[in-house]
């Protein structure tokens, strides 16, 4: 056994040196180089849960957060995405967070989902795109998240070029951390990101007859 001071000095010298070099190198980066592009994707549960954790961490550090949700709108009667209730309360408490929900209601009254795209869905996707462009160009945020931005392409609401153009625009205005989520990547997208995490489905309770549940899944 050793005391805490002895434990701090023991072992891991190569790793410690690597960390020291990383920290020193980070201090010398330009303002534009300090910010990264994150992608969280996959068919496993956890993408929105992940970005909500990231939002909590950012707000806890006093950062300014903006969230754009693609294809996650509602009819105005009931808010199905419970995480937004938390963000509303945090905003009321003084946290600098703004969120923009776009899209038409997908959940049917019987608990099933509507999959076919309507004209209104395409209009809402374009609206989300314009909001995102404006935030990239003019927003004062430290963290910008486009939730389901990649999914909007996979489900044919947007073109690949639409999201790639947003990344191009961000690369010319790297004032903040940038995050994208969705289900499936297309060729060339992974290479553009600084961090890529895949949520891979190994097992899901839905397959044994347990439906999505308020507060756990949405």
pLDDT tens per residue across span 131-177: 999 999 999 999 999 999 999 999 999 999 999 999 999 999 999 99
More confident residue, 129 or 82: 129
Percent of the chain with pLDDT over 90: 61
Q: What pTM was estimated for this model as a whole? A: 0.87
Query: Residue 3: its pLDDT value, please?
Result: 77
Token pair listed for 181 = 């989520």
Mean pLDDT calculated for residue range 11-19: 76
The 3-class SS string of the chain reads CCCHHHHHHCCCHHHHHHHHHHHHHHHCCCCHHHCCEEEEECCCCCHHHHHHHHHHHHHHCCCCEEEEECCCCCCCCCCCCCHHHHHHHHHHCCCCEEEEECCCCCECCCCCECCCCCHHHHHHHHHHHHHHHHHHHHCCCCEEEEECHHHHHHCCCCCHHHHHHHHHHHHCCCCCEEEEEECCCCCCHHHHCCEEEECCCCCCHHHHCCCCCCCCCC
Percent of the chain with pLDDT over 70: 90
* CATH code, 34-208: 3.40.50.300
Query: Residue 88: its pLDDT value, please?
Result: 93
What CA–CA distance (Å, rounded) separates 9 from 12?
9
Highest average pLDDT, of 34-38, 77-81, 107-111, comes from 34-38
DSSP β-bridge partners for residue 7: none
Token pair listed for 156 = 């044919």
Query: Residue 14: its pLDDT value, please?
Result: 79
Judge whether residue 108 has pLDDT over 80: no
């Amino acid at each position: 056994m050793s005391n805490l001071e002895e434990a701090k000095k023991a072992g891991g010298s190569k790793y410690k040196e690597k960390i020291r070099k990383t920290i020193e190198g980070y201090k010398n980066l330009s303002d534009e180089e300090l910010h990264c592009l994150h992608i969280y994707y996959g068919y496993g549960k956890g993408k929105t849960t992940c970005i909500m954790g990231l939002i909590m961490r950012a707000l806890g550090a006093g950062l300014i957060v903006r969230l754009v949700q693609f294809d996650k709108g509602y009819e105005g009667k009931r808010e199905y995405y419970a995480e937004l209730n938390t963000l509303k309360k945090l905003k009321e408490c003084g946290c600098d967070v703004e969120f923009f929900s776009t899209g038409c209601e997908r959940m049917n009254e019987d608990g099933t989902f509507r999959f076919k795209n309507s004209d209104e869905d395409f209009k809402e996707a374009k609206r989300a795109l314009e909001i995102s462009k404006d935030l990239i160009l003019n927003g004062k945020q430290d963290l910008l998240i486009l939730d389901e931005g990649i999914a909007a392409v996979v489900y044919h609401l947007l073109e690949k070029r639409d999201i790639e153009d947003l990344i191009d625009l961000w690369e010319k205005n790297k004032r903040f951390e940038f995050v994208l989520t969705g289900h499936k990547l297309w060729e060339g997208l992974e290479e553009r990101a600084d961090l890529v995490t895949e949520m891979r489905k190994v097992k899901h309770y839905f397959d044994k007859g347990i439906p999505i549940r308020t507060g756990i899944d949405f």
